[in-house]
Amino acid sequence: MAILIMLNNYFHDLAVAILFVNVVLTWLYIKIFAQNLDRENLKYFIRFSLYLTYFSLFLILLLGVPRAIFYKRYEWMEAAGRGQVTALIVKHVILALLTFSAILLQMKIKRRFYGD
């Protein structure tokens, strides 16, 4: 069970990274290539990025449930014993900031190209 929880936690953090990198790269792509592409191809690319954003958010929420349930058993106790409680708190604050900033940037991109 511990290995499954460890893998779950790894994929949870990876989903945050995929979310953030996807949105930042989409924003950069728009900044660099928006004038050279026709609007329909650009909207198609942004739609794909939006689906990847939704999928990443879904994974973050789905994988966050077992992480929250088993947190004290598999992460907190071990970390507290080695004095890493502060590092775990900082890591989760950073992951939350990355997630929320990616959501805000994706909303800005979507609003610009879809008017929603």
Domain ranges of the chain: 2-114
pLDDT digits (tens), the chain, 116 positions: 889 999 999 999 999 999 999 999 999 988 888 778 787 888 888 899 999 999 999 999 999 999 889 887 877 766 677 777 788 888 889 999 999 999 999 999 988 887 75
Instruction: Kindly report the pTM of this predicted structure.
Output: 0.83
- Residue 73: which residues within 8 A CB-CB, separation 6 or more? none
Token couple for 1:
């069970």
- Cα(113)–Cα(116) distance, integer angstroms: 8
Angle at 83 between CA 77 and CA 89, to 5 degrees: 75
The three-state DSSP-derived secondary structure of 28-60 is HHHHHHCCCCCHHHHHHHHHHHHHHHHHHHHHH
